[in-house]
Amino acid sequence: MAKNIDAKLKNIQGIFSNTQDSILGRDGIFIIPDYQRAYNWRFNEQCDKLWQDIESFIENGKNETYFFGSIIINNDNEQLYIIDGQQRMTTFILLLKALLIKINFILKNISADEDAESIKNALENRRREIINCLYSIDEDDVSLVIKGSKQLSELHTKYENKSINEEYPNEIKAILQGQVFDEIERNVVTIKHKQKDNKYTNFFRNFKFFSEKLDYFDSTEVNRFAKALLKECQVIAVISYQTEEAIEIFNSLNSTGMPLADADILSAKLYSNYDVDKTEFKKSWSEIIKNTNSLGAQRISTIDDILNQYMYILRAKNNEKDTTLPGVRRYFTDINKEPLKTPKAFISDIEKIIGIWQDEENYSGSFVKAA
């Protein structure tokens, strides 16, 4: 049966807001699915490029729109699972939050003279629009939030990260529910064995990057930037309505050369082959990611290293003598597909190898068992 798909060209406000012109014509929650990769955009690479693109578009002053590309969403009962475009969507949310905090600060400190009235009204409109983009909220509650009678921590956010590959799934929630930058900085995760800004997640570092950029803007520049982002930057939203095909669509998209890490591809295939109840797999894989991230922070070993070592063990076990070494992804998805068909055994072996690095005193015994 053919897939039921819609394609809609929407501005950023139309993607996130609860207006009639939005994706659903009502509120929806954006969800990063279990099988998706972790958030890995960096402030000095993709975020800086995004910022420069928007600034250049504004400076050119052309009466047109700026196109950000496409996203692919699986619509399941008002829950919008992001199949493709996760990195951009997450970054848009961080940028909108930075704008909201900057606008709140300006409106709190703006003068009451007539000359400021016009920009004040414009910024108040931008604030309402951004609040509607980031939170599931009705108009009455928007007014309560603006007056300070209702805190952002009391609101439901429009973003939820369920990825088993994401070690910090609640980081966006901590950022969105904070009132001011300093509060957010106190509440976000700090990573062990990291120093200075490296101790923060990509979520917070990118949010901080946007916040610091906006610090150089005056009220007029902030309004111009926010208006351009919300109303003049567009995305094609491709919406699927067949939930059961989400993983197949994901795997199909990412077999065409899109830059996913080996661990992301393998975890998606393991997830697909697991028992009907995926809870045990999600818990085990999340622990694997947590442990390998900790080892990586200490420059001991990464998830890619562990998978590579597992490939060597299996090649030795199977007496494979070909001296031309394949990549990890090719080995498990083409040369030796059997391990991915038994996810529980795969995970058990990976856990044993991780244990080797966590406890070098048991190296010999653990290695023999893993092999």
Tell me, what's the pLDDT at 138? 84
State residue 34's pLDDT score. Answer: 80
Q: Where are the domains of the chain?
A: 5-244, 261-370
Q: Are the C-beta atoms of 309 and 317 separated by less than 8 Å?
A: no
Extract the residue ranges of the chain whose pLDDT is less than 70: 1-4, 19-21, 23-26, 62-63, 114, 242-260, 276, 360-371
- Quote the mean pLDDT of the chain: 85
Token pair for residue 235? 């995305």
* Residue 115 neighbours by CB under 8 Å, 6+ apart: none
Report whether 312 contacts 325 (CB < 8 A).
no
pLDDT of 91: 96
Is 237:73 a contact under the CB 8 Å cutoff? yes
Look up residue 28 and give its two tokens. 């929806």
Task: Evaluate the CA torsion angle 47, 78, 239, 63 in order and state its sign.
Answer: negative
Whether the CA torsion 318, 322, 327, 333 is positive or negative: it is negative
Per-residue DSSP letters for 31-58? EE-TTSPPP---IIIIIHHHHHHHHHHH
pLDDT of residue 39: 93
Answer yes or no: are the C-beta atoms of 70 and 85 closer than 8 Å: yes
Q: Which pLDDT score is estimated for 150? A: 92
Beta strands 156-157; 135-136: pairing state = antiparallel
Centre a 10 Å sphere on the Cβ of residue 181 and count the other Cβ atoms it contains: 19
Instruction: Dump the DSSP string for 131-160.
Output: HHHHEE--HHHHHHHHHTSS-GGGSEESEE
For residues 219 and 110, the answer to whether their CB atoms sit within 8 Å is yes
What confidence score (pLDDT) does residue 368 get?
40
Kindly report the pTM of this predicted structure: 0.79
Helix (H) or strand (E) holding 295: helix 279-297
Half-sphere exposure of 53 (CA within 13 A, CB side): 15
CA of 7: how far to CAs of 23, 159, 201, 254, in Å?
Answer: 10, 21, 33, 20
